[in-house]
Structure 1
Amino acid sequence: MFNHQDIKWIRNVKRDKGKEWAYFDDDSEEMILNWSSNFKKRPTHAMLPEVGDIIVVYQKINITNEVHFTHLVTPIDNIERDCIKTNPSHRWGRKVKILSRTKQLFKPEEFNLTSVNQGHTYRINSIDDNAEPESIQKIIWNLFKPYFKEGISEKYFFELTDILNDDLDDAESDEGKLKLALHMVRERSRKLVAQKKASVRNPKCECCKFDFSNTYPNLGDGFIECHHRIPINKGERITKLEDLALVCANCHRMLHRKNNQNEYYTVEELKQIIINE
């Protein structure tokens, strides 16, 4: 079982000097994560993470000139692979399971990646000297939570706490645990979310009518988040396009907060709150 505390490491990757996305060639569940051939002494930095540790992968893409958090991966064995025949410049490889992968996450402003940008393997607390490691882990876990990979086998079920739905500063709350089973992962189908977003040419938040394209010309064109109207904890079901709502990030967070009756607001209820204010 994985949770936010398993996020232990972070490393920078690039492909063709940042001209292309790295490690997005296919949609497989596993991949070989490579380290530089400059490492002469073995074991190399590829062997620092232990099986069960989660590694955050980030990369800077030239076309956007932005830093993206792109992968959460975990080693599946303790074998250091020599990949010199297939990847001479990044000889050393480690087979990892892809837990989450996306091109949608920009680096949070509070994280400083200057000291962890050499392609080595760094402790996760290196990106913010002023924050507690667990605070960093929770922020990253919540960033990746909508993108956990579809179709992960039963061996890789995730143990999630209510930090996925509550404010990050509620660090002392203990409201029970949920197991994110395989059918729950499938309800968060990336394909269905993509279809929902593509169904609207110029999406606006269904709650507050916020328009990313107007506020962020060019950058915000077509951008929106997708919310499941029926909470995941309601159990197994078939999710249809009409079960999804297109909302801004702020409203999405509010939809995942509980009211005084310990229930989540519906899109319609949150919309009415905004109107009444």
Structure 2
Amino acid sequence: MATVEHCLYCFETLSAYLESRKPMSLSEIEKSYGEYVKEVEAGVAASDKTESLEKRIPALRRVADSDFSEASSSSIPSSNSTMSLTTDTAATSTDSLPDANTPKITESPLFVTWNTVSARSGHTSLRGCIGTFEAQELDEGLSSYAITSAVHDMRFDAISKRELPSLEVAVTLLTDFEDCADAMDWEVGTHGLRVSFAERGRRYGATYLPDVAPEQGWTKEETLVSLMRKAGWAGRKDKWRSVDLKVVRYQGRKKDIQYPEYKQWRDWVKQRGVDAEEDEDEA
């Protein structure tokens, strides 16, 4: 399935493209993110231990003299200590790390989606989405489609550097392609669809990822008609069943993150001098 590291790689690729610098590789990100998660989790464990000790202090004070109490309380790290995790720290979890028993995915058909996130409401709006049904090596495919979907989706203007802080990226790795027995042989929320058909000598085709129909609240019929419209079909809505549709269903393993999570990891990387080492090597 898609991972946090895949999403970080897309952000890193786009950010580097807009800043005219060399991006970190996918393998470098996977290695650094594993170290980052361990450090954050260690900080959380230390914070939990400190909190437990702080809860016991009132009881200690009741049985100790005032001098001992003052000495005890002064030894407890403050809330802004490096041992504590602040509330604006992005959540991390071992759930984002690959299972040791799960084979690592190195290539897959994929889509990269960019959304803008409203600072006021948190609502997301599509900003670009392009992918491929041909299996790609992930290091090359994610890098290529992160840029392509950000600056070459003809439905939108190219994403600019100033927009980075408002972005969310979603990576979807596509699996389980199957020909449908008929246009209704699929499930909303489980399958993505790829339709193709011909009418009056013209060929049409379009796709929706698995999350589109449930996000829009569409029925199967509404999804199919919308997908045909997306392909360019201009026929009457009530005549869609007369079109000879070829429908392929597939599933998607999706992961998404927003810019603050990327920024926090990237700041952690910079603090360890990774960029400086790369600059020296390039020089």
> What is the TM-score normalised by the length of structure 2?
0.25
Normalized against structure 1, the TM-score is what?
0.25
State the structure with bigger RCO (CA 8 A, min sep 6), 1 or 2.
2
Q: Which one has the bigger helix percentage?
A: 2
Larger radius of gyration: 2
